[in-house]
Amino acid sequence: MNKVLKTNFLLILFLITFLLSAGNNSFGDFSFESLLKPLSGQSMRNSSSAEDIEKNGDARAIEPNDTLTLMDEDGPGIITHFWNTIATENVFYPRSIVLRIYYDGLEKPSVEAPIGDFFGLGLAGHKEFISQPVVNTSRGRARVCFWPMPFQKHIKVTVTNESDLRVGSFYYYIDWKKLNEWQPDTPYFHARYRQEYPAKPGNYTILETQGKGHYVGTVYSALQMETGWFGEGDDFFYIDGAEMPQLKGTGTEDYFNDAWGFREFSAPYHGVPVYEGVFAGDRVSIYRWHIPDPVFFEKSLRVVIEHKGSVMNEKAPITKMDLAGFKEREDWVSSVAFWYQTTPTTWDEPLPPANKRIPPYKTLKFDTLVYRADPAILTVPTEYFLLYIPLTPESNIEFDFEIQQKGTYRIDAFMILSLFSGAFQPYMDGKPFGTPIDFSAPGYDIAPVYLDIHELSEGIHTLRFEGVKQALKHTRTMAPKTYGLGIACLTLLRLEDMEGYRSVLKQLDPNAFPQEQKNN
């Protein structure tokens, strides 16, 4: 009994000590216990809310190549919550809109990244996932983070529309706290985007910084240029100028807390929001938050990862498909590093321009496509998309598009998902591919649909959606049965236009592309 009392006493003493120490920290404790003690500071908010609170114009527009200032405030303070959602015709806006945060009057930012990558998802992707500091919902259109971002003297938060298309609506909340006092040695939040398109020889650098702080997260993305497993490379952390890494990994999926390849999932501290497969043209985007296990450094930190994996020739006989198991690949890789330092730091390397951050996609808006429907009961072109309402599942609609140069194309479509949509089997030039796609949803959304990789010759091609009779995932007794389909645009990416595509395969097997040799 005495041992039990003694143990309970020590536990209570530890809890009291913890709460007292937390009371001396203006922002470092987010436990439930912290809500049970008096809180200091003043709650503040910067948002896109209309100045006239009786009106509903609660968004800001951003013209092409213009910058919108979200916050420009004196400290001391700390950002505790940042949410946004964006409406624009530019389907690649997660890569073309850039977030920058400037501390204490510095001319260069200490946070600089495309807005999609900063919020955990690279490659201009749109996907839902839930983690502790960052969450994406509404099919990837609602983004929120809870990274604490303290500032002593001043903070300025901006977003820049680095595209030729207008951002019609940028909605945002930034909740922050005005602090009564600034604690010495308070670390500043940093985030930096990098890319190598394609990956260069040697390890890929995620971060290299000087100073004292701790590393708290990685977002890593790859557009694959070879068929095979891309993620055999190890991660290495060089702390305080060490010649050899103190932290050594065993594989890309191991660093991101998965194993034996990837599959899509999200967890509080690690996840794979996007994993499309092993073929050239497939994408992957992954995150790892070092919140329970930050990497501390006193003088400097260098974080690198190998870009190695297998290389396969899927057109070869099965016994000759696998050409290499641990070879440096020239995938298009990008990353965002997240860390804290006791003084704000900046860098000289410029952010690549938007046309270098976004692969050379060609966007075909619906009104540039020739289409035919059967039955042709009701096709409704709107400003942003085409609606087909056949009123029966026994229907089809097809779209003609022109390919000007023979090649291997990744095709995506931005489609309408709604309670009025049906299920359709896709066809390319009369041949079915994939499985039927259920476009039904409880509400109304525009979302990307990956339509796979296709080898297309020069000339006119036809993408066909043929209605299928199957139980829809989302139906309501009060909703009319329209079995509709809606499309906003197609995006085409010719892989041969991308530096690094199949370069390793060509080195390993010079006969892999006999047609190219014949043409040369």
In a domain, 34, yes or no: no
| pLDDT tens string 162-198 | 999 999 999 999 999 999 999 999 999 999 999 999 9
Q: Domain check: are 399 and 280 in the same one?
A: no
In a domain, 10, yes or no: no
| pLDDT tens string 302-329 | 999 999 999 999 888 888 888 899 999 9
Residue 497 confidence (pLDDT) above 80: yes
In this structure, the number of other CB atoms found within 10 A of the CB of residue 509 comes to 15
Q: Domain check: are 271 and 342 in the same one?
A: yes
Q: Domain check: are 373 and 293 in the same one?
A: no
Domain boundary among 339, 357, 375: 357
| pLDDT tens string 259-311 | 999 999 999 999 999 999 999 999 999 999 999 999 999 999 999 999 999 99
Element (H, E) at 427: strand 423-428
Domain assignment of residue 66, given as a range:
42-357
DSSP structural state of residue 349: S
SS3 of 338, please?
strand
pTM: predicted TM-score of the whole model, two decimal places: 0.92
In a domain, 103, yes or no: yes
Q: How confident is the model at residue 8 (pLDDT cuts 50, 70, 90)?
A: very low
In a domain, 466, yes or no: yes
Counting DSSP H helices and E strands in the chain, the numbers are: 7, 37
377 or 345: whose pLDDT is higher? 345
| pLDDT tens string 366-421 | 999 999 999 988 999 999 999 999 999 999 999 999 999 999 999 999 999 999 99
pLDDT score for 16? 33
Q: Domain check: are 189 and 77 in the same one?
A: yes
Q: Domain check: are 407 and 345 in the same one?
A: no
In a domain, 508, yes or no: no
Residue 462 confidence (pLDDT) above 70: yes
Backbone angles phi and psi of 182, in degrees to 5: -105, 130
Q: From CA 386, how far away is CA 366, in angstroms rounded?
A: 6
Report the pLDDT averaged over residues 448-471. 97
Report the pLDDT averaged over residues 350-355. 97
CA dihedral 103, 109, 114, 119 (to 10 degrees): -30
Sheet of strand 247-248, all strands in order from the earlier edge strand to the far edge: 204-210, 300-305, 235-239, 247-248
Candidates 405, 402, 409; CA nearest to 494 is 409
Residue 274 vs residues 285, 286, 287: alpha-carbon distances, Å: 5, 7, 10
pLDDT score for 15? 36
In a domain, 37, yes or no: no
Candidates 237, 233, 263; CA nearest to 250 is 233
Residue the block writes with tokens 């309670």: 419
In angstroms and rounded to an integer, the radius of gyration of the C-alpha atoms of the chain is 26
Q: Is the peptide bond before 64 cis (omega within 30 degrees of 0)?
A: no
CATH code (residue 113) = 2.60.120.1390
Residue the block writes with tokens 């100028």: 241
pLDDT score for 30? 61
Q: Domain check: are 317 and 380 in the same one?
A: no
Q: From CA 393, how far away is CA 377, in angstroms rounded?
A: 13
CB 295 within 8 Å of CB 239: yes
| pLDDT tens string 449-460 | 999 999 999 999
Report the pLDDT averaged over residues 349-360. 97
Domain boundary among 341, 357, 373: 357
pLDDT score for 332? 98
Element (H, E) at 255: helix 252-255
CATH code (residue 369) = 2.60.120.260
Going by C-beta distance under 8 Å and a sequence separation of 6 or more, which residues neighbour residue 504? Answer: 226, 311, 324, 327, 328, 329, 330
> Rounded to a whole number, what is the distance in angstroms from the first to the last CA of the chain?
88
Residue 233 confidence (pLDDT) above 80: yes
Q: Domain check: are 317 and 419 in the same one?
A: no
Domain boundary among 328, 357, 386: 357
Q: Domain check: are 249 and 392 in the same one?
A: no
In a domain, 28, yes or no: no
Candidates 214, 213, 231; CA nearest to 222 is 231
| pLDDT tens string 14-65 | 333 333 333 334 444 567 777 888 888 999 999 999 887 777 889 999 999 9
Q: Domain check: are 49 and 162 in the same one?
A: yes
Residue the block writes with tokens 């510095």: 106
CB 299 within 8 Å of CB 209: no
35 or 103: whose pLDDT is higher? 103
Report the pLDDT averaged over residues 499-512. 89
pLDDT mean across residues, the chain = 92
Report the pLDDT averaged over residues 140-159. 97
Q: Domain check: are 487 and 372 in the same one?
A: yes
In a domain, 332, yes or no: yes
Q: Domain check: are 377 and 420 in the same one?
A: yes
Number of domains in the chain: 2
Strands 42-47 and 167-178 turn out to be: antiparallel
Strands 129-130 and 134-137 turn out to be: antiparallel
Q: From CA 204, how far away is CA 52, in angstroms rounded?
A: 49
Q: Domain check: are 449 and 472 in the same one?
A: yes
Report the pLDDT averaged over residues 62-84. 98
Q: From CA 505, how far away is CA 311, in angstroms rounded?
A: 7
pLDDT score for 137? 97
Candidates 160, 212, 220; CA nearest to 190 is 212
pLDDT score for 2? 47
